[in-house]
Structure 1
């Protein structure tokens, strides 16, 4: 019988430990995870990239919901564990959910430190720690322009860079006389400051914040010296502290963090801790590499695999601060009895400082060129003499190149436990093993196998260097494909599928040389869509290749329940329809019924096993609020009631919705119809928007009202409703046939250009051909619930599992 393992914390440290454990002992534990945030495991290091526009929120997800489902993990998102009953061996969340444990792992991370300033409770004062903070900054930048970031460390500078990207006027406030004093000496810090000032940042150094001023919302940040700076947004990035309150209440030994031994055991039997909340030998680590090392040790311990335990970590910091590379390690301050070597090139923006004591390297700072960081750190850890090599170490040799006269490269000399990819905690040994034992011959294959270079990409040159050393002539420079399983792009895959008539996902993978037998969560849904789009009459949809929401035809919520949205055409309903929805909500005790932004009713909190019965009782089409399909067609009342309306927007909206319901698309699609240029239905931020004018209709494309707001482009002006249907059919089918999987129309229109779309749709003959193809597809589709309701075998998919929760 499986033991019960409960993990409190759904972050990077705990999930990396689980990944190791599932490889070592995949069947030993029934696993339950509680995560306080309503998101699956994501890379917190990449939040600054999201803020700066270098990555999308979905791109920083490390383990998607499908991963939890694949490993039959009970996942409770949005649940904060409030109590550990050590006598009964169970945990209880703030929502009343209980979970028994044989093994309990605390990975509660840390909390941002908020300065106790007067006014810190005001709206517009936040930390920079999670996705919600990121979203708040993005939303605020659309309404306000002045921001102050308190804290001149790495996190503060990254927050400031992101806010600059969002168009805000940013001042960085720091209590010290120079930036990043924990990682850099003053010379390197001044060079960094000049680089950042050139990017547009402003700095207020040696400033102590006194109060946040403003009525209700932050407006000004005041300092103890009497000066002030305007700030509609105040971001505090002044440090973190281990989240230990839960452990304290449970009676565990706690200092700064939860006290653990070399095997990550706490003071109570069966309870372990790791990550930022743990304190080992008096140290609570905040960098990712030590946390991953702890996770590897704990996974072995829980799998009964021999391990020497965790002996602590020697840490280094290799960072890219707003595009500038910096590295520091060890004791880099000038100290008694030490020699200091420096090299500074103001033209190239390079600075190097080495600190030596008794002929051993004890500290280093690199700015601008950090390629020698890995070797210097390795020398520091080994403690070997560097006598006679000082000049060579200071001036350096590019990583991966051979010194004059032959010999081994610097990367080759690095220890196997040297961390190469800091974002994902991948060491040199793991990368070398992927090359020598798993046959990886390209950076993309190494990325797919180990995750190295899969986040910020800063370590890619080091990965390339290792590839050259250990793969030799077998190393290939492969272009990036659709995912790590293939080097082929979307267009190449679609072209080959059409040319060779490939009709199944397995066939595509075999014929086109997929590197992984089953593919991954990125390519399987994409192939499933492409095959359905190319062969609508022949292809049998692979339900197992769809995401969780599409498999259950409902939106999964953070507590593991589902949301049901029946189709309400154009936002127009009737008393009979409303009565039916109300009766169903009462019968199944639906916790919440809410009007959506798309003018529909959402039944929230539905149990998975009740989904077929609810749809049967509703007897209404699905609103497809869960899939990559047509979602909604929003309308205003138009000429039917409004004194400004020039056309029947309600009728047009209903016609469009009935025309395209059930349509599968590369990404979700939203439509809207406004009855006059006042645009009450917000048609100009939709994927396809229709705006009524005197004597006709404006057709708009490529809008988005989400995180990256984009106004539409005007496609054309037409006179009749039939022309609206003709052009919308042609546009949507052209998008279906040419966009990448998961690519919204807003991104697609920007990528291919509006003119290319206009040219493709210019010929009426081609528009009618596209219209016929989209109608053929729609004729072959049915509402999924009609099939599920009528086939008992399909209903079994909705029966609760013993380990069922959020997936």
Structure 2
């Protein structure tokens, strides 16, 4: 019996690799190990499913058994990997089972970054990073009128918009001075903020939560500037940190994420990383399009055709119907300047190099229809 390809993680990254591999190789044994229920769902849907009152179960497109049948794979749900032995080429599971691998793929994702908070309710701060988290959050929302959101980035703003549809008032707190500061230029941030505020969202910028205490049936959030926010729940959405501990313990090279080359191979032969846990030539990109590109490339490589990953221009549609937005962020450390053109109906922001080369853009309102046309003018990050 040939050794299997083993994939650690059943998120979009892990299952994309599995599907792309199976398109090209029907016979090599395939094992998927998942710390959760291993059902297939779209993680980006977690931040806009509240408006339609979808349950966690309703978000599962295919349960684990159907994924196993579709992929001709063994899927091990609710299973944790204790360690990886790259010399012996095997993984050890919490059940004690040892699985040898031909190739190993780390698709273990990322963990929410948590602020060091004081207060007797600090342990009750929620985050939504997977289906199990979403189930808890959706249940706790019943009867809630106000939710404090820590973080005005992509996920924080998307959850704020989603809560509005449930007639729940979001109060968004961020140390930055504006919304979506890593994705949008100032004029675009201001447009999103004003659109949200018109619908009842409250923002606290330039400060951070320092403690969370019980206050009656809810909680009181104390900010660094001395102000307080009373809410029914607190949701932390300040960012993600790639899961790297397994890789570190196995002796793999780790920086911000698990370090991989353009073939997505780690510092150890036959071990690869994709998705939120991977750092590809200095880039960690927690978006859907990059991981899809990675999955296609690695699926081909595992099937015998070494294929380096390449990234075209990858617009991100921000799920904020209150202020329709799409952004294609410029590469990290890119040198250039944002120029914004604002009208009542739209905002178009272009990030260009000194020679006029378009490196990124953000479009809002009616201008979101321009995103694909603008994307064709950008060369991409890794080509």
Query: Is TM-score (shorter-chain normalized) higher than 0.5?
Result: yes
1:392-403 to 2 correspondence within 5 Å?
Answer: none
**Structure 1 residue aligned with 2:349:** 353
**What displacement does 1:115 show?**
0.7
**What displacement does 1:118 show?**
1.4
**What displacement does 1:183 show?**
1.5
Question: Matched residue of 2:15: which SS?
Answer: helix
**Structure 2 residue aligned with 1:379:** 377
**Structure 1 residue aligned with 2:104:** 104
Taking the aligned partners of 2:76 and 2:336, their CA distance within structure 1 comes to 55
Taking the aligned partners of 1:138 and 1:238, their CA distance within structure 2 comes to 19
**What displacement does 1:165 show?**
3.4
Q: Relative contact order: is structure 1 or structure 2 higher (C-alpha 8 Å, sep ≥ 6)?
A: 2
Does the C-alpha gap of structure 1 residues 9 and 341 become closer, same or farther in structure 2, counting only changes over 3 Å? closer
Does the C-alpha gap of structure 1 residues 306 and 169 become closer, same or farther in structure 2, counting only changes over 3 Å? closer
**What displacement does 1:341 show?**
5.0
Unaligned segments of structure 2, at least 5 residues:
none
**What displacement does 1:247 show?**
0.6
Give per-residue Cα distances to partners, 1:665-724, cap 9 Å, x unaligned. Answer: xxxxxxxxxxxxxxxxxxxxxxxxxxxxxxxxxxxxxxxxxxxxxxxxxxxxxxxxxxxx
Give per-residue Cα distances to partners, 1:395-436, cap 9 Å, x unaligned. Answer: xxxxxxxxxxxxxxxxxxxxxx99xxxxxxxxxxxxxxxxxx
Give per-residue Cα distances to partners, 1:424-478, cap 9 Å, x unaligned. Answer: xxxxxxxxxxxxxxxxxxxxxxxxxxxxxxxxxxxxxxxxxxxxxxxxxxxxxxx
Taking the aligned partners of 1:139 and 1:337, their CA distance within structure 2 comes to 45
**Structure 1 residue aligned with 2:327:** 328
Which segment is superposed worse, 120-129 or 364-373? 120-129
**Structure 1 residue aligned with 2:14:** 14
Does the C-alpha gap of structure 1 residues 302 and 217 become closer, same or farther in structure 2, counting only changes over 3 Å? farther
TM-score, length of structure 1 as denominator length: 0.44
Question: Matched residue of 1:371: which SS?
Answer: helix
Does the C-alpha gap of structure 1 residues 153 and 337 become closer, same or farther in structure 2, counting only changes over 3 Å? closer
**What displacement does 1:330 show?**
4.3
Question: Matched residue of 2:49: which SS?
Answer: helix
Give the number of equivalent residue pairs.
379
**What displacement does 1:306 show?**
5.0
Taking the aligned partners of 2:359 and 2:73, their CA distance within structure 1 comes to 45
Taking the aligned partners of 1:332 and 1:372, their CA distance within structure 2 comes to 20
**Structure 2 residue aligned with 1:73:** 73
**What displacement does 1:363 show?**
3.2
Taking the aligned partners of 2:302 and 2:74, their CA distance within structure 1 comes to 19
Does the C-alpha gap of structure 1 residues 204 and 190 become closer, same or farther in structure 2, counting only changes over 3 Å? same
Does the C-alpha gap of structure 1 residues 232 and 107 become closer, same or farther in structure 2, counting only changes over 3 Å? same
Does the 8 Å contact 1:7/1:105 carry over to 2?
yes
Question: Matched residue of 1:310: which SS?
Answer: coil
Does the C-alpha gap of structure 1 residues 26 and 382 become closer, same or farther in structure 2, counting only changes over 3 Å? closer
**What displacement does 1:143 show?**
4.5
1:12-51 to 2 correspondence within 5 Å?
Answer: 12-27=12-27, 29-51=28-50
Does the 8 Å contact 1:184/1:365 carry over to 2?
yes
**Structure 1 residue aligned with 2:210:** 210
Taking the aligned partners of 1:104 and 1:382, their CA distance within structure 2 comes to 28
Does the C-alpha gap of structure 1 residues 277 and 337 become closer, same or farther in structure 2, counting only changes over 3 Å? closer
Does the 8 Å contact 1:49/1:55 carry over to 2?
no
Query: What is the RMSD of the two structures over their aligned residues, measured on CA atoms?
Result: 2.8
Does the 8 Å contact 1:281/1:312 carry over to 2?
no
Give per-residue Cα distances to partners, 1:246-284, cap 9 Å, x unaligned. Answer: 111111111111111221111112211111111111222
Taking the aligned partners of 2:328 and 2:70, their CA distance within structure 1 comes to 40
Does the 8 Å contact 1:126/1:234 carry over to 2?
yes
- Which structure has the larger Rg over C-alpha atoms? 1
Does the C-alpha gap of structure 1 residues 266 and 168 become closer, same or farther in structure 2, counting only changes over 3 Å? same
Which segment is superposed worse, 79-88 or 215-224? 215-224
- Kindly indicate which of the two structures has a greater share of residues assigned to helix: 1
Does the 8 Å contact 1:124/1:217 carry over to 2?
no
Does the C-alpha gap of structure 1 residues 165 and 342 become closer, same or farther in structure 2, counting only changes over 3 Å? closer
Taking the aligned partners of 1:301 and 1:197, their CA distance within structure 2 comes to 48
Question: Matched residue of 1:370: which SS?
Answer: helix
Alignment pair present for 1:362 and 2:359: yes
Taking the aligned partners of 1:216 and 1:35, their CA distance within structure 2 comes to 39
Does the 8 Å contact 2:196/2:322 carry over to 1?
no
Taking the aligned partners of 2:84 and 2:270, their CA distance within structure 1 comes to 12
Question: Matched residue of 1:46: which SS?
Answer: helix
1:460-479 to 2 correspondence within 5 Å?
Answer: none
Does the 8 Å contact 1:141/1:167 carry over to 2?
no
Question: Matched residue of 1:221: which SS?
Answer: strand
**Structure 2 residue aligned with 1:292:** 292
Taking the aligned partners of 1:296 and 1:38, their CA distance within structure 2 comes to 24
**What displacement does 1:219 show?**
1.2
1:306-325 to 2 correspondence within 5 Å?
Answer: 306-307=306-307, 309-311=308-310, 314-325=313-324
Taking the aligned partners of 2:222 and 2:184, their CA distance within structure 1 comes to 28
**Structure 2 residue aligned with 1:231:** 231
**Structure 1 residue aligned with 2:162:** 162
- Kindly indicate which of the two structures has a greater share of residues assigned to strand: 2
**What displacement does 1:311 show?**
4.4
Taking the aligned partners of 1:359 and 1:87, their CA distance within structure 2 comes to 50
Taking the aligned partners of 2:331 and 2:107, their CA distance within structure 1 comes to 31
Does the 8 Å contact 1:124/1:218 carry over to 2?
no
Does the C-alpha gap of structure 1 residues 322 and 135 become closer, same or farther in structure 2, counting only changes over 3 Å? farther
Give per-residue Cα distances to partners, 1:605-657, cap 9 Å, x unaligned. Answer: xxxxxxxxxxxxxxxxxxxxxxxxxxxxxxxxxxxxxxxxxxxxxxxxxxxxx
**Structure 1 residue aligned with 2:304:** 304
1:642-661 to 2 correspondence within 5 Å?
Answer: none
Question: Matched residue of 1:241: which SS?
Answer: strand
Does the C-alpha gap of structure 1 residues 17 and 375 become closer, same or farther in structure 2, counting only changes over 3 Å? same
**What displacement does 1:235 show?**
0.6
Does the C-alpha gap of structure 1 residues 331 and 238 become closer, same or farther in structure 2, counting only changes over 3 Å? same
Unaligned segments of structure 1, at least 5 residues:
384-416, 419-807
Question: Matched residue of 2:222: which SS?
Answer: strand
Give per-residue Cα distances to partners, 1:749-781, cap 9 Å, x unaligned. Answer: xxxxxxxxxxxxxxxxxxxxxxxxxxxxxxxxx
